[in-house]
Structure 1
Amino acid sequence: MVLVGLVVGISLIYTFTGTTDPELYQESITAERERQFKFLKYNLDSPLEEEQKDELDSLDFYPIDPEYKVRARLVPVENRRILEIPMTDGSLERYIRHSYAEFDLRGKGLKLLLLQAEDETDRRNFFLAFADETSGDETYGGGRYLNLRQDGQSSITIDFNLAFNPYCAYNPDFACPIPPRENILDIAIRAGEKNYDK
């Protein structure tokens, strides 16, 4: 579960609701991306080696696109159970299969499985690992992550503009959860962080 804590550290839990000001929205996403960059470059817990930190001058993101911020309906998983997610090093990490997030994106109905760490104390926090048609090309092949927080009685906001790379995208010595098969999308999510250019 240490990895989950580290992943949470790379991207502050972000919920952007209650405003439709496009300028403020852009500023909020830009500020979060800047925090992510500073964490990777300067933080002692960064997955980057010292040489990588010295060479890092920016991260690569898609342009901010409000269309990729969606409101999803939460549908609880029947018979919630522990799911052992394969890690990139061959080990397994245990998560609770909690809910599905159902939403429309660019005219297509989508459904993603939301996971919860076994030791999560706040039952409104979720972990989303996903892959899409950009994975392995424009974005990291092992998928990307989002840390989500339930912000409605039966709904949740998903903003793909905040999708970030797992630690193993920067350093293969880290083990990262592989997206479950339910979260491998047959569309391109051109939002959030792109592949790390070593």
Structure 2
Amino acid sequence: MKNNTIIILIISVVVLTAVVYTLTETETPEDYIEKIEAERERQFKFIRFNYESPLTDEQKLKFKKLEFYPIDPAYKVKARMILIEERKVREVPLTDGTKEKYLEHSWAEFELNGKPEKLLLLQAISEPDKRNFFLAFADSTSAVETYGGGRYINARQDGKNSITIDFNMAYNPYCAYNPDYGCPLPPRENLLEIAIPVGEKNYEK
């Protein structure tokens, strides 16, 4: 009897600990907005001050801010990863006419505003962390309010068959600031017909 009581107590403690952990790890809307704003501030400081910034010294003197859409949590989606069985190495064209090699890894399937969407997840050949993916996309805002060559998202697998894609974190490639850089263009599979009105807007030179 005592053994049963001890087991029940242990199970109760484990369950309670799990519940407390889940509650404390749950991100509030305020925390989410604060996280996005902090990342935007980090981007600004990098572009404005870092020696690896794509801006020229002359551009840095005139640079005041980055332009973003308002934050919308609806554009943070959990996608199902569909592995590509026969993975191929793709030569992705760059804006300067050269090419870079990426592995066609998987499809990310998700719903956005009630409609199914699908994007191709690429992985750099030299990527050491196999849970990190490169996502380049374009949408109907491209060449209008956002950079015509598309935007990027750094996506990380967060489950056995799932990955979170946060379009609020979409950012411009270096060539949006300086045409001397060669940047990968979105694959044809990632040319969305819908608008993605979140993330970074085009850089006004």
TM-score normalised by structure 2 residue count: 0.87
Which of the residues 66, 71, 92 maps onto 2:73?
Answer: 66
Shift of 1:195: 0.4
CA distance in 1, matches of 2:85, 2:190: 17
d(CA) in 2 for partners of 1:20 and 1:29? 12
User: Do residues 130 (structure 1) and 137 (structure 2) align?
Assistant: yes
Could you give the per-residue CA deviations for residues 123-181 of structure 1, whole angstroms, max 9, x where no partner exists? Answer: 00100000000000000000000111111110000100000000000000000000000
Counterpart for residue 146 of structure 1: 153
List, as ranges, runs of 4+ consecutive aligned residues in structure 1 with deviation greater than 6 Å: none
Gaps of 5+ in 2: 1-24
Given the alignment of the two structures, is residue 89 of structure 1 paired with residue 92 of structure 2, yes or no? no
1:22 is aligned to: 29
TM-score (norm 1): 0.90
| Aligned-partner residue type, residue 138 of structure 2 | A
Give the number of equivalent residue pairs: 181
Residue of 183, 201, 204 corresponding to 1:194: 201
Once the 2 structures are TM-superposed, how far is the Cα of residue 193 of structure 1 from its aligned partner? 0.1
Structure 2 partner of 1:12: none
Partners of 1:197 and 1:108 in 2: CA distance: 32
Distance in 2 (alpha carbons) for counterparts of 1:149 and 1:107 = 23
Q: Distance in 1 between matches of 2:127 and 2:78?
A: 23
Q: Deviations over 1:48-94 (max 9, x none)?
A: 01111111111000000000000000000120010000000111100
Equivalent in 90, 113, 121 of residue 128 of structure 2: 121
Percent identity, aligned pairs only, is: 65
Structure whose CA Rg is larger: 2
Q: Which of 109, 113, 118 matches 1:106? A: 113
Larger RCO (alpha carbons 8 Å, 6+ apart): 1
Distance 2:78 2:61 in 1: 39
- The alignment yields a C-alpha RMSD, in angstroms, of 0.7
Equivalent-residue separation in structure 2 for 1:179 and 1:46 (angstroms): 22
Find the residue that maps to 2:103 and give its secondary structure: strand
Q: Which amino acid aligns with 1:137?
A: V
Tell me the secondary structure at the aligned position of residue 139 of structure 1.
coil
After the TM superposition, which residues 6-85 of structure 1 pair with which residues of structure 2 at under 5 Å, given as runs?
A: 18-85=25-92
What is the identity, as a one-letter code, of the residue corresponding to 1:68? Y
Letter in 1 for 2:103: I
Amino acid at match of 1:123: K
Task: Decide which structure has greater helix share.
Answer: 2
Shift of residue 19, structure 1, vs aligned partner: 2.3
2:184, 2:124 → 1: CA distance? 12
